[in-house]
Amino acid sequence: MLYLPVIVVHGGAGALPEELREIHARGCREAAFRGLEILLQGGSALDAVVEAVACLEDNPLFNAGTGASLDEEGHLSLDASVMEGSGLRAGGVCALPPFRNPIRIARAILEEGRHVLLAGEGAARFAVARGFEPADPASMITDSARRRLEEVLRGRADGHWPGGTVGAVARDAQGHLAAATSTGGTVGKAPGRVGDSPIPGAGTYADNASGAASATGEGEAILRVQLCRSACDLLLHGLEAPRAASQAIAHIGGRIKGRAGIILIDRNGQVGIAHNTETMSWAIARPGELKSGWRWEGSQP
């Protein structure tokens, strides 16, 4: 039996300035289209989400890969993870020094299967051993990232970047699910800080029995409620994807006043998108359909 493939991506939750909203939506649309092309060529959900997130990592508009946020010492420290739903395999990197596409290194960890999560210099050594080349930090740090850090250090802004964490979820023609998430984290974070994005169940989760999810927003809050696993558990309890996404966001907002967004897909290919921030850029791609936006309004995509 073949299933209708679908991929959903997000480009971060927050409050995007009006002049940036459409170009962020366009960036999500381009990433979703790339993922859909892979699915239509017979690629797996895992292939699709990794390529979609790599596309967003290469886009300096977003807080992932090139253009990602800087810690309080002005350094890049990158987090990413990927998970596939058939065998619950996962791989992630955290506090990774500059490499062009952290999500590809996360997938290499998944494929090796020895560990789930590698950090810092250990993650960097693994990457080099697998043929990934370290990047010149100057080639990945943008003027925009430097300005954002300066504003945070001077107390003119908080560390939350509305064009932030990126992620993707997909179902392939075999019915398998996968999720991927990548981020530079909070602007001006302490060296060594790790957010939700590389942690299975928090910022990324996939299980063929329930669904796949990727989160964005306040990492510490997302960690505390295990947002993505919680949303997928709601699917197991019979909620449809739109309601499960909305209820998961209502819980993080009501329980600990966390600000977040989530994209969710269930095993039937139904999509849920929810956020309690002013904006969250997103895109959905299915055969014959490609749509995007910067705010989700409505109960069912």
DSSP codes of every residue in 9-77: EEEEEE---HHHHHHHHHHHHHHHHHHHHHHHTT--HHHHHHHHHHHHHT-TTSSSSTT--B-TTS-B-
Confidence band for 179, pLDDT divided at 50, 70 and 90: very high
Closest CA to 273 of 258, 253, 290, 292: 292
User: How many helices and strands, by DSSP H and E, does the chain display?
Assistant: 9, 12
**Encoding tokens for residue 205?**
């989760």
Q: What is the helix (H) or strand (E) element at residue 260, kind and residue range?
A: strand 260-266
Counting Cα atoms < 13 Å in the Cβ hemisphere of 251 gives 17
CB atoms within 10 A of CB 298: 7
DSSP 72-87: TTS-B-EEEEEEETTT
Closest CA to 119 of 84, 67, 79: 79
The pLDDT, as a whole number, for residue 301 is 39
Counting Cα atoms < 13 Å in the Cβ hemisphere of 265 gives 35
Known catalytic residue: 181?
no
Q: What is the helix (H) or strand (E) element at residue 6, kind and residue range?
A: strand 6-14
Could you tell me if 284 and 292 are in contact, meaning their C-beta atoms sit under 8 angstroms apart?
A: yes
Q: Which of 66, 142, 165, 183 is catalytic?
A: 165
pLDDT tens digits, one per residue of 19-78: 999 999 999 999 999 999 999 999 999 999 999 999 999 999 999 999 999 999 999 999
Q: Provide, rounded to the nearest whole percent, the portion of the chain with pLDDT above 90.
A: 93
Q: Model-level pTM?
A: 0.96
- Average pLDDT, integer, range 87-105: 98
Crossing angle for the helix pair 120-129 and 102-112, to the nearest 10 degrees: 80
Query: Nearest 5 degrees, angle CA 251-CA 52-CA 213?
Result: 20
pLDDT tens digits, one per residue of 182-233: 999 999 999 999 999 999 999 999 999 999 999 999 999 999 999 999 999 9
pLDDT tens digits, one per residue of 128-165: 999 999 999 999 999 999 999 999 998 877 657 666 79
**Which strands, in side-by-side order, build the sheet including 204-206?**
204-206, 211-217, 260-266, 271-275
